[in-house]
Structure 1
């Protein structure tokens, strides 16, 4: 590394030394009556020296739910102030703080259950770890509290149990703002994860911390994670097609803001087409007013929105793509970049297959040739995915 490279990165803050960012704003984007809670969070980066470009991610170092920590301590009849070792350097923290800030307690691995079995004389637990299928099924959707409650009594100290646990990892979120449009700020779009499993409400560690415990004025430890595989085209004149249902809208808000700034400064900008989707138009059309303003200003050419629960037939983003197949293919032929952000399980696969269908039909190609066309787009960096 040359000396000039060091000079270019003034920030002292990183994954290992996160910056305490102040919360400027934290609002629920969903309307009353929605089954979802999506938080729009604005954080100050003032004094951090941190910078980012559209497409990058923000890492948040989360804390566990204090209620869950209290229940674990109560079930085990532990003393919250007992010091426990948290790393190989033999550093210690009081138990309560270690469970809050250091250890992962909401996920169970087979390894944790197997090692825990050695600290118990519970026959049921011994049988469970002896059966690979049952063990795998048990760990699914359960946490440390389930394990400790289900197989008492334990011949284990707080140190014995915490020694089995992994370190709580940071969570990465697509940045939902452009630094050019919002100097010294970073915005996030985070869906609160809550669901019932095995008789208890489960909460996403970081998403629910952001929804319930990150009030304006509070600080949260953050760092920037560069995403080299998800960026705007080098030329602002290149057309872009963005598919981002739900919180998948996040990076595209940053793309559109960046393009809006370019346009406002007199730079020529290409066309921008957004496919957005969610459950109900009335309550779940995230950033609607803002997007419509960008459309009026010309920074966003077209918005196609799909709302799956507003009609008898469920309509998703891929259906909107199909409806506009001819034009979509024409954009690709003219050199447009195609982006997808959001759910890896279903949405990204459906969008991928629909894209091949469109290329096959509109390009009058064989299935094989359509797949090769898409592969080439990917190799050229014109088909980019940020899926999770």
Structure 2
């Protein structure tokens, strides 16, 4: 309602000014302003000389920030809130920081930090504790959460009566130990006597909406406990809209024009690695070496066609795609919205209910069978192997998860080319269970995207993979295959900033002749001094396969000397094999060169991680 001379005691000029001010305020600012006026009225009396006890107290005064003039107005009790995150790639940290921003203005003391930034024994001093954590590998805590996780599960863990908490867990349903770290923290905090303020929420790879709901519900729970009248849904909704206007995201992607799409591998290679350059003109956001570009992919149209034909459905039929009953055509939903190329245990369990297939209903109770069956199979396999009866198109949203975005390490420097971003993409093709298979996004980029086309993208900053910006700190980079992408970004930036020396790259691939990615650029940086040293391993060029970890051990003495000079180690690439083998190789080098026991190198590397001198971007 707009104020005017007929519905308020204001003059026309005062009403105009008040309307202009109110239109510019956020919901929490309006609540504060309302409370401020009520408080000052209550303290100083009315301007007409009426007794102060005739003024009706406005409930919104409860939202006045501490320190405001309101000594006679009842206030909610401010809380000391600690938000801790366990993050490997930055997702959990991003959510935690966003949560902290949402809590600002509610009158509480807010502290957001990584789990490795709090002394474990101080956890008992926390008043309200909110944990946002990813799960790494097969149910393991992220690197920065290991120490706190071990402490709370150890004999020295304190009793936590008086601590209130809630946990948001990020994970991937395709893994057996889905959201295990979040489940661990949730159960242990309760066991130690803490009070659960709001139930744990487990998020799949497409975590945005579930995270938003958890944030809103936690704020509601806080408001209920403290007597605040702030409406979380309204505050969160307004903040989300503001954030969408400020930067690009999954909900607000930037459509980047493709400038180049080049195969980096030579003729005869068993691999196909695409170098893709995208135009970011008018993007208005900066990135750094180590950050990621997120691509919103589409499923292969041939696969979508085959799936629709298998189900014998109408591709133009409108179907429900979420709980809000938003709709798309079946064709669009299977192309852009639902994941159809990967099976998960929850998907098979839901299908057992929806398919009305007796054989599937019997098998889905066997966890070992599900684990074996889903490996390398997709939705078409499931439908062909267990023919559904009575399955309807609107049943899909209750069974399928959203098509997850794909993240690629940025291979270019913003400082060198601010209107461009480059990514390095390995095309994934394989055969399983009698059918040819392919990666969703990698094959879209390799086969169906040409210069002039546009791709929906947004940035994801990776605070856990940041490079030094000086000449003094030695930097060791280990990146076989496409894992070399962030190091190309870093060397481009060093060239732009004229930072020479103190850089050592380990690169590996199959063949020198066909698979030496960005070969001429590395050679140029070596000649110009921006790259001091490079060791390469081409595994298929020798009788005995040689990998980057072998090159590390071959250069053990020099590698240790770099560490003694304060070198920072960066590893990018495959998690399952390469990252573990490299980790073990570094431990062997430290043990051998320093003549220390096997346990000491692990502790040394843990300290490097705490000092941000051992960082990994592994997948």
Q: Normalization by structure 2: what TM-score?
A: 0.60
How far has the Cα of 1:234 moved from its partner? 4.0
2:458 is paired with a residue whose SS is strand
Counterparts of 1:286 and 1:272 in 2: how far apart (Å)?
Answer: 18
Counterparts of 2:416 and 2:247 in 1: how far apart (Å)?
Answer: 24
Which residue in the other structure is 2:434 paired with? 199
Greater mean alpha carbon deviation, residues 81-90 or residues 98-107 = 81-90
Greater mean alpha carbon deviation, residues 197-206 or residues 105-114 = 105-114
2:507 is paired with a residue whose SS is strand
1:327 to 541, 558, 564: 558
Where does 1:165-184 land on structure 2 (aligned, <5 Å)? 165-184=400-419
1:341 aligns with 2:572: yes
RMSD: 1.8
1:374 aligns with 2:597: no
**Any conservation in 1 of the 2:322–2:397 contact (CA below 8 Å)?**
no
**Any conservation in 2 of the 1:39–1:189 contact (CA below 8 Å)?**
yes
1:252 aligns with 2:252: no
1:118 is paired with a residue whose SS is helix
1:112 is paired with a residue whose SS is helix
Counterparts of 1:124 and 1:320 in 2: how far apart (Å)?
Answer: 52
* Deviation sequence 1:119-157 (CA, Å, 0-9, x none): 334332222213221122111211111111111252112
C-alpha spacing 1:371/1:253, structure 2 compared with 1 (3 Å): same
Q: Normalization by structure 1: what TM-score?
A: 0.94
Counterparts of 1:130 and 1:365 in 2: how far apart (Å)?
Answer: 50
Where does 1:37-116 land on structure 2 (aligned, <5 Å)? 37-116=272-351
**Any conservation in 2 of the 1:31–1:283 contact (CA below 8 Å)?**
yes
Counterparts of 2:290 and 2:436 in 1: how far apart (Å)?
Answer: 33
- Normalized per residue, which structure has more helix? 2
2:249 to 14, 34, 38: 14
Which consecutive aligned stretches of 4+ in structure 1 deviate over 4 angstroms post-superposition? none
1:306 to 531, 534, 537: 537
Corresponding residue pairs, total:
380
Counterparts of 1:80 and 1:177 in 2: how far apart (Å)?
Answer: 40
1:239 aligns with 2:474: yes
Greater mean alpha carbon deviation, residues 228-237 or residues 70-79 = 228-237
Greater mean alpha carbon deviation, residues 364-373 or residues 201-210 = 364-373
Which residue in the other structure is 2:44 paired with? none
Structure scoring higher RCO (CA < 8 A, sep ≥ 6) equals 1
1:117 to 344, 352, 358: 352
Greater mean alpha carbon deviation, residues 58-67 or residues 145-154 = 145-154
2:583 to 352, 358, 365: 352
Which residue in the other structure is 2:504 paired with? 273
Counterparts of 2:266 and 2:404 in 1: how far apart (Å)?
Answer: 32
1:188 aligns with 2:423: yes
How far has the Cα of 1:273 moved from its partner? 0.6
Q: Which 5+ residue runs of structure 2 have no aligned equivalent?
A: 1-100, 105-241
How far has the Cα of 1:162 moved from its partner? 4.2
Which residue in the other structure is 2:144 paired with? none
How far has the Cα of 1:42 moved from its partner? 0.3
1:209 is paired with a residue whose SS is helix
**Any conservation in 2 of the 1:243–1:341 contact (CA below 8 Å)?**
yes
* Deviation sequence 1:84-140 (CA, Å, 0-9, x none): 111222111110011000001011122222222223343322222132211221112
How far has the Cα of 1:261 moved from its partner? 1.1
**Bigger Rg, which one:** 2
1:242 is paired with a residue whose SS is strand
Q: Which 5+ residue runs of structure 1 have no aligned equivalent?
A: none
Counterparts of 2:414 and 2:572 in 1: how far apart (Å)?
Answer: 20
**Any conservation in 2 of the 1:238–1:269 contact (CA below 8 Å)?**
no
